[in-house]
Amino acid sequence: MKFSIATVEFWQSVGFDTTNWRKSIDGTKALVHDKFASVLVDLKNENVITLDVDSEEFKQIIQDEFTEQPVEEIIEL
């Protein structure tokens, strides 16, 4: 399974309603299943990153940009 990630601004500019999509912590990026994204976008578009869910890059992006750290971890930092 693959997901595509791009800025909310980009997704909206091509006609998607991202209201209920999973967004990054800062709200600037959104991800969606690649099959859905490909309806309106060429996935080779430079504004879109498409990754397999099992890839290390995808896991790292989710961890870094889409997952809030528990308060205990923030305090330790």
Task: Calculate mean pLDDT across residues 43-70.
Answer: 93
> 7-48, pLDDT tens digit by residue?
999 999 999 999 999 999 999 999 999 999 999 999 999 999
Q: How confident is the model at residue 55 (pLDDT cuts 50, 70, 90)?
A: very high
Question: What is the SS3 assignment for 77?
Answer: coil
Q: How many domains does the chain have?
A: 1
DSSP notation for 4-55: EEEEHHHHHHTT---TTSEE-TTSSEEEEEHHHHTTTS-TT-TT-EEEETTS
Structural domain boundaries enclosing 51: 2-76
